[in-house]
Amino acid sequence: MEQIKQKNINEDKVPLTIKVVFSVFMAILVPFYWQTYGPSNFLYFCDIALFLTLFGLWSENKTLISMAAVGILLPQIIWVVDFLGTSINYPLLGMTEYMSRDSISLFARGLSLFHGWLPFLLIYLVAKLGYCSKALFSWTLLAWVAILVSYFFMPVPGETLVTDNSPVNINYVYGFSETEKQSWLADEIYLMLLMIILPVFIYWPTDKLLKRWLKNS
């Protein structure tokens, strides 16, 4: 009986309108991304976060929402800064260069603007559903899997692609360029550093910030 009551309470936390609008967005984005970039594009952390958010919305599962939040809040801020800088020819890292490619349809690029509003949605959802302390560990494991798959099985910078828009250097496992690898470290050392730096300097601080924010709110 208590479980049924708890379920009923949780079902009222996120408005149905948000669930439906986000689902419609995903129903449009997934086939367009598949056609434009190919299925490997969904290995990017931001795309993984989209699916976690979708499933987390409908199940109102705070673990899934928390994983998405701890994984992409800070990176999305970096994406936005790089996008704004690139638009005035002062890119931060060059990671949003693809947003200016004529080979990618304007509509597909418009869909990519989710990087700008998804963080705010996740903050709202964490406030509604709460934050799960297991999110840091769970997201880190998921991110490591995505990194290793991107490194060992996906195209490297400079490789001949099936299509012009096929993702290269997914999750930046070879640096931040799509045309050439970073050259200041051996590939394997860079990969190991990436797998350490992300949890320590991106995910862990986000985890602490979210916990402190909810504690003080």
The enclosing H or E element of 120 equals: helix 114-129
Helix (H, G, I), strand (E, B) or coil at 175: strand
Could you report the per-residue pLDDT of 136-171, keeping only the tens digit for each? Answer: 999 999 999 999 999 999 999 887 676 667 899 999
The pLDDT of residue 210: 96
Helix (H, G, I), strand (E, B) or coil at 95: coil
Say if residues 38 and 163 touch (Cβ distance below 8 Å): yes
Which residues of the chain fall short of a pLDDT of 70?
A: 1-12, 90-92, 94-95, 102, 160, 162-164, 216-217
